[in-house]
Amino acid sequence: MLGVAGGIAAYKAVEVLRGLAESGHDVTVVPTDAALKFVGEPTWSALSGKPVASDVWSNISDVPHVRLGQTADVVVIAPATADLLARATHGVANDLLTNTLLTARCPIVMAPAMHTEMWVHPATQANVAQLRARGIIVLEPASGRLTGADTGPGRLPDPTAIVDAVKDVLRRKPTNDLAGLKIVISAGGTHEALDPVRYLGNRSSGKQGVELARTAVSRGAHVTLVAAHLHVEPPAGVELVRVSSAQDLYEAMCEHTGDVVVMAAAVADFKPHTEAGKKIKKEHLDGEQVSMELTTTVDVLASLVQRRSGSSPLIVGFAAETADHHDHLLELGQSKLARKGCDLLVVNEVGTQEVFGSHENSVVILGADGLSVQIDRSSKAQVADALWDLVAPRVS
């Protein structure tokens, strides 16, 4: 069921409806009266192939205010306005959408959209906290241009990202086992500047880190995604912190702490010793052979482990290894786990299979407590879920 509340972003919900319908889902749209002022009933009805009602007085014999909630596999509300969040928090049932929210026993995903002032208002923030505590997935709004010339957090997340978040909730048995947890995930590859136009980078796409963030959100966590350079869109519903270099990433990871920290970023191990303020010109280079002096960067993972007091946060590292055979991979993983001192290490073999940019991955997850779990080639979303299955009992 797609609920649409009355905000200007209602027009973007048309794309959410199309995305869900094109993926084969049977969608019933329930707009509020205010939503119909932005996008009319014929649009919702034509695209969903179903009649559309906003009040509880249509098709009474069908008892829609109870049936819709009881039979839905998932309810998604996009946009969720400040008013809708407030009514949902207090159990107000004064139209078909809010009645449905009270009868729904399936996962509920809300994608808020409103002006920044309304989003950061203590009333809205308190409502969001209560809804999250009840297990409702309230995605973080995106930041950017709002209705007028102003910018800030409050934009509806990208419709395709909302569709992906809903698909993720539908893909597996609903679980809210990460609710109440703050999780900080780094993803993507860092760029180490050589001059204003050149950098040293790596082949990481950031897909695995993005899937970790997406799945953690749909399991109820509050996720901060510290994103170095990504080749994929960040997921809906995360607090996004953009960084570029290893040093930026280190500073962001120190600033944003959580109950769980996952270092999925491909952090450069070395950077140019000096960054030229101006583009290095060819004619200044001496001869054909050019060499560059490099210095090592901060080891973010090892530093985070050293900085923590006691066993919190739980820290997960990743390892990219090229091994000759499986036992060799395990040996390399065990020695990296000991060297970094983290709690869990997700070991990737990057030599023989295509990992960078691929949608699939096979990994071994090692634990400082002796854990060793093999995950055969699966989607990066499944690998992410397998990791959360191991993390959840360790932090609850």
H helices of 290-355, where? 300-307, 326-340
CB of 259 to ligand CTP, least distance (A): 18
- Nearest distance from residue 102's CB to ligand CTP, in Å? 44
Q: C-beta of 312: minimal distance to ligand CTP in Å? A: 18
Closest to ligand CTP by CB, 21 vs 305, is: 305
Nearer to ligand CTP, 115 or 336 (CB): 336
Local structure of 220: helix, strand or coil: coil
List contacts with ligand CTP (CB under 6 A): 246, 263, 265, 267, 269, 297, 299-301, 317-320
Name the percent of the chain in helix, strand, coil, to the closest 5.
40, 25, 40
Q: Minimum distance between the CB of residue 280 and ligand CTP, rounded to whole angstroms?
A: 24
* Strand order across the beta sheet in which 260-263 lies: 239-242, 222-227, 182-187, 260-263, 314-321, 344-349, 360-367, 372-379
Which pairing describes strands 151-155 and 142-145: parallel, antiparallel, or unpaired?
A: antiparallel
Reduced to 3 states (helix: H, G, I; strand: E, B; else coil), residue 137 is strand
Determine contact, residues 234/210, Cβ cutoff 8 Å: yes
| Closer to ligand CTP by Cβ: residue 168 or 349 | 349
Residue tagged active-site, from 127, 202, 348, 361: 202
Residue 200 tokens, joined: 């040293």
Q: CB 333 → ligand CTP: shortest distance, Å?
A: 9
* Residue 258 neighbours by CB distance under 10 Å: 19
Reply yes or no on whether 202 is catalytic. Answer: yes
Cβ closer to ligand CTP: 192 or 259?
192
Contact 345, 337 (CB under 8 A): yes
Nearer to ligand CTP, 274 or 322 (CB): 322
Which residues does the annotation mark as catalytic? 202
